[in-house]
């Protein structure tokens, strides 16, 4: 096998390798008792990393591969968490599904499906709208979902769901008497992350994935080449929503499903991870999720009260500087000098898939624009 062939194989499996490496390091430590709730890395943090990886990869499908901005990703996750969580409780208490792994799988599928239905509904206006409008519609969608779920009370006097959601605003949480997953959640979540990675990576490499990326690069050209824009936009939205719902169902087994959790801020947090990792790079998504969740959890312990928003200050600066560095027409020369193509070949994630050619084209476009 020659060098390029090796490179290709490496590129195919690097994403799996990262996740498997994390598992190979943490699982023996966990069963050895070294990794526990008071250690440097906790199982809770690992769970959070796993579902964040799923979330960020799924948002990357929309932002990075399709090239549309979605600001309602937390809303899709909320739907998945809500439906999945309630279903978990129902299946457990009604005794329909006793085995907790089976139960969680069913809940993830149904939660994902519920979110996907919403993704389909929100995808319909997407067909008629351009970038900025679409962003606002997704934002509005997130707020509508939150507004409705915040006020939906599920508190029947008897039956499997008795007393589940007494106060909709504070939400609900699962525990061992409500069908919470009783195994090691983080191991399960990482396995799910691998499955999701498999789906997204292969989808993006297929004919369909190339069509989706063609829409990002030039919608009109893609249409001219016979790509069905409507179909691919809709399907990307729906699949991304599905995976966000899956992450949500995992979340329901992890923490409290509440109105405050899935706010606009959370959508932005996911977006920051996508942008930092590199739009259109799954490797970047995985690395930035792991990194930011780790930093987040550590910062939360140090920064209390109003200082906690220092975290958001840093997020904001990351967004602004990454974007200016990434696409300011004036910096095209700098990008060329630094030769992002070379850098991104090495650490592909951090700066996305910007190559030399693209910046040259950009310079031309911007000079046309300005003169």
Partner 1 sequence: MSEIISTIINGLSQGGVYALIALGYTMVYGIAKMLNFAHGDIIMVGSYAAFVVVGMMSSSPFLAIFIAVVVCTALGILVERLAYRPLRGAPSLSVLITAIGVSYLLQSLAQIIFGATPVMVPMFDFKFVDIGGISIKIQSLITLAVCAVVIVLLLFVIKKTKVGRAMVAVSEDRGAAQLMGVNVNRTIAITFAIGSALAALAGIFSLFVSPVTSPTFGALPGIKAFVAAVIGGIGSIPGAAIGGIILGVVEQFALSVPFLSPYADAIVFSILIVVLLVRPTGILGKKQREKV
Residues of this chain that bind partner 1 (CB under 8 A): 63, 67-69, 71, 124-125, 128-129, 131-133, 135-137, 139-141, 143-144, 147-148, 150-151, 264, 268, 271, 275, 305-307, 309-313, 315-320, 323-324, 326-331, 362, 365-366, 368-371
Nearer to partner 1 among residue 106 and residue 144 (C-beta): 144
Of the pair 191, 364, the CB lying nearest partner 1 is at 364
Cβ atoms < 10 Å from Cβ of 192: 22
Q: Is 287 helix (H, G, I), strand (E, B) or coil?
A: helix
The token pair at 333 is: 């020369």
Helix (H, G, I), strand (E, B) or coil at 165: strand
Give min distance, CB of 185 to partner 1, in A.
31
* Nearer of residues 9 and 148 to partner 1, judged by Cβ: 148
What's the number of CA atoms in the CB half-sphere (13 Å) around residue 34?
A: 6
Task: Please report how close the Cβ of residue 69 comes to partner 1 at its closest, in angstroms.
Answer: 6
Complex with partner 1: residue 44 or 263, whichever CB lies closer: 263
- Classify 107 as helix, strand or coil: helix
Among 199, 192, 203, 205, which Cα is nearest to 11's? 205
Distance CA 222, CA 231 (A): 13
Nearer of residues 109 and 331 to partner 1, judged by Cβ = 331
Query: What are φ and ψ of residue 328, in 5° steps?
Result: -70, 125
Indicate the residue among 70 and 253 with the shorter CB distance to partner 1: 70
Rounded to a whole number of angstroms, the minimum distance from the CB of residue 230 to partner 1 is: 14
To the nearest whole angstrom, how small is the minimum distance from the Cβ of residue 33 to partner 1?
A: 39
- The smaller minimum CB distance to partner 1, of residues 117 and 136, is found at 136
Residue with tokens 């850098």: 343
The answer to whether the beta carbons of residues 358 and 335 sit under 8 Å apart is no
Distance in angstroms (rounded) separating the CA atoms of residues 349 and 278? 5
Q: To the nearest whole angstrom, how small is the minimum distance from the Cβ of residue 351 to partner 1?
A: 13
Mark 208-235 as b/e (b = at least 16 C-beta within 10 Å). bbebbbbbbeeeeebeeeebebeebbbb
Structure tokens at 300: 């939360």
| 37 or 132: CB nearest partner 1 | 132
Closest CA to 41 of 254, 310, 296: 296
Residue closer to partner 1, measured from CB, 80 or 280: 280
d(CA 190, CA 53): 9
The CB-of-307 to partner 1 minimum distance in angstroms stands at 7
Q: Smallest distance, Å, CB 10 to partner 1? A: 30
Residues in contact with 57: Cβ distance below 8 Å, sequence separation at least 6, in sequence order: 196, 197, 200, 243, 282, 285, 286
DSSP 166: S
Tokens representing 268 are: 């932005």
Q: Give the shortest CB-101-to-partner 1 separation in angstroms.
A: 36
Cβ of residue 319: shortest distance to partner 1, in angstroms?
3
């Amino acid at each position: 096998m020659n060098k390029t062939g090796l490179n290709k194989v490496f590129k195919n499996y690097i994403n799996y390798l990262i996740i498997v490496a994390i598992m190979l390091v943490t699982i023996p430590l966990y069963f050895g008792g070294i990794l526990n709730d008071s250690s440097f890395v906790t199982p809770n943090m690992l769970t959070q990393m796993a579902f964040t990886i799923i979330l960020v990869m799924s948002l990357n499908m929309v932002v990075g591969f399709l090239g549309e901005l979605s600001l309602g990703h937390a809303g899709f996750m909320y739907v998945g968490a809500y439906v999945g969580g309630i279903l978990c409780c129902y299946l457990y208490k009604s005794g329909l599904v006793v085995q907790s792994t089976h139960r969680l799988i069913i809940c993830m599928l149904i939660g994902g499906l519920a979110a996907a239905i919403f993704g389909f509904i929100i995808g319909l206006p997407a067909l008629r709208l351009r970038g900025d409008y679409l962003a606002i519609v997704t934002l509005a969608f997130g707020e509508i979902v939150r507004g409705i779920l915040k006020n939906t009370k599920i508190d029947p006097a008897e039956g499997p769901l008795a007393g589940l959601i007494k106060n909709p605003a504070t939400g609900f949480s699962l525990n061992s008497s409500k069908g919470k997953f009783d195994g090691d959640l983080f191991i399960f979540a990482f396995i799910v992350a691998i499955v999701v990675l498999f789906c997204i990576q292969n989808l993006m490499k297929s004919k369909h994935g190339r069509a989706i990326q063609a829409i990002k690069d030039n919608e009109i050209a893609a249409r001219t080449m016979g790509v069905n824009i409507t179909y691919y936009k809709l399907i990307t939205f729906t699949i991304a929503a599905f995976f966000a719902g899956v992450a949500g169902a995992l979340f329901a087994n992890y923490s409290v499903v509440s109105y405050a959790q899935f706010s606009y801020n959370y959508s932005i947090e996911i977006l920051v991870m996508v942008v930092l990792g590199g739009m259109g790079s799954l490797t970047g998504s995985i690395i930035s999720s792991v990194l930011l969740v780790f930093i987040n959890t550590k910062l939360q312990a140090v920064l209390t009260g109003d200082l906690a928003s220092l975290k958001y200050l840093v997020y904001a600066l990351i967004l602004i500087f990454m974007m200016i560095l990434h696409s300011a027409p004036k910096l095209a020369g700098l990008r060329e000098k630094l030769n992002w193509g070379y850098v991104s070949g090495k650490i592909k994630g951090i700066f996305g898939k910007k190559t030399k050619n693209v910046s040259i084209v950009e310079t031309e476009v911007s000079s046309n624009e300005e003169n």
